[in-house]
A and B are shown apart, each in its own frame.
Chain A
């Protein structure tokens, strides 16, 4: 048994990589989706958005880039479907420059499906550096930060922006977070201006936001691919997140198996040394 575990401990890492690749690819090839019971946090976020009256103005902040796209892009797309279906008006901006095209592309594609008109039903403001300074100044006057949209059209000429001066006119901020900008939204946007916030976060960031949930500084947090799949289930628009849940489940079990086998080997070899 000791020899067997010694061989197992020295296994080529490329075999591990191949196992991970196959454990991810094969479930995707089966094209199966799974029935999931949405988490309480996601249900809370969904119910809040559902409760917003028609024509409410919501703000979406693109604070991620292509590295976090598989988790956050499905969340963004589901939210846009949800918002446009409820005839909410969407203002999109971002704090991560490299992720803006992802957000804008999704906004244009999904707005077209609901026959929404740019400037009336939605607007894309773009990006300004400075994070905290941007959030604070927008709380006083959005125009002081974004005097024009992404194509340099003065925002006064856009009907959607005529009724928006600052956060008092925004019913919800939906932030898609891959880094620390979510903290900035809460620490400046909520703390100073009581801006209602729902955050969609990568799974890496999700545990960091539980203190904010417990302190009621955010309405809720939709975390990781599981959160995105839950949201897709509630909005009834199956997307990439739902397709990925079977692969996610299988690979989790594979990694748990790796941990268990690795530890059994460790204990056997430790006893053999004694």
Chain B
């Protein structure tokens, strides 16, 4: 019985959000505000359950020696963040934010260079002529490699705005934008696929779990 009630509750909220398609109405506004309020409370619960309790509380009880005393530093930094809500002391929260921003910047440099830039540039260095087992394969693989190498370079050149796009740079940029249009078209196709999949999921819930028609 309780399963049926909760299924109807889920269906109510689903239809409340879908009602926005007809026009903005109190049911939609109600559902929207419930979503925002509960999301905020979720964050508070998550911080305690998965961060503060296991890393700080359990850390203080289980760790020994220097490892335990070192936990005082993140504890202080975390409390400084909460001081943002106290106007006279909110300047202390900048210390914690500076730490997180500095860490993010450091992680960003290492990840982007080692994990993306070098391997991707390496993968773009391809032979401009590939001999396949047939003439057709030779033409296809060579053509593919030419598009990958020059397509990547010309796309990057399109975004170089420090010089006017004239002459060789102008021609490269035009080829670059052509490649970009194909890229955006493919992304658009996949975006439609994604959004429709989400709708399929909700309609399946309404037809299968709620109305039991499927």
Contacts and interface: CB of A to CB of B under 8 A. Distances in A.
Given A148-B58, A252-B192, A70 B201 contact: yes
A248 B196 contact: yes
B120 A31 contact: no
Nearest to B123: A215
Contact of B123 (A98, A191, A211, A240): A211
Contacts of B119: 191, 215, 217
A59 B199 CA distance: 30
Contact of A29 (B58, B122, B213): B213
B203 interface: yes
Contacts of A191: 111, 114-115, 119
A244 B54 contact: no
Interface of B: 21-22, 39, 42-43, 46, 49-51, 53-55, 58-59, 62, 103-104, 107, 111-112, 114-116, 119-120, 122-123, 148, 183, 186-187, 190-194, 196-204, 207, 213-214
A223 interface: yes
Most A Cβ at <10 Å: residue of B22, B50, B197: B197
Contact of B103 (A24, A133, A244): A133
Contacts of B55: 128
Contacts of B58: 147-148, 152
A207 B186 contact: yes
Q: From DSSP, what is the main secondary structure of chain B's interface residues?
A: helix
A154 B59 CA distance: 12
Interface of A: 14, 17, 20-21, 24-25, 28-29, 31, 67-71, 97-98, 126-129, 132-133, 136, 147-148, 152, 154, 183-184, 186-188, 190-192, 202-204, 206-207, 211, 214-217, 223-226, 240, 243-244, 247-248, 251-252, 255
A178 to B, nearest CB: 9
Nearest to B106: A132
B203 to A, nearest CB: 5
Contacts of B53: 152
Contact of A152 (B54, B111, B112): B54
A205 to B, nearest CB: 8
Contacts of A206: 190
A147 B203 contact: no
A31 B214 CA distance: 7
14 contacts: A21-B203, A31-B214, A70-B202, A70-B204, A128-B50, A128-B51, A186-B115, A192-B114, A202-B194, A214-B148, A217-B119, A243-B204, A248-B193, A251-B196
Given A70-B197, A128-B55, 8 more contacts: A21-B203, A28-B214, A68-B198, A71-B194, A127-B46, A147-B58, A187-B112, A215-B122
Most A Cβ at <10 Å: residue of B55, B62, B104, B111: B111
Contact of A203 (B22, B54, B116, B190): B190
Q: Which 4 A-B pairs have the closest CB atoms?
A: A187-B115, A70-B201, A215-B123, A203-B194
A28 B204 CA distance: 7
A187 B50 contact: no
Contacts of B148: 214
A132 B106 CA distance: 11
A224 B183 CA distance: 17
Contacts of A207: 183, 186-187, 190
Contacts of A20: 199
Given A204-B194, A223-B190, A244 B200 contact: yes
Given A17-B21, A97-B42, A147-B54, A203 B115 contact: no
B154 to A, nearest CB: 16
B41 to A, nearest CB: 12
Contacts of B199: 20, 24, 251
Nearest to A67: B198
B197 A224 contact: yes
Contacts of A25: 203, 207
Given A147-B58, A214-B123, A223-B190, A240 B207 contact: no
A240 B187 CA distance: 24
Most A Cβ at <10 Å: residue of B22, B112, B119, B200: B200
A29 B207 contact: yes
Contacts of B116: 183, 186-187
Contacts of A215: 119-120, 122-123
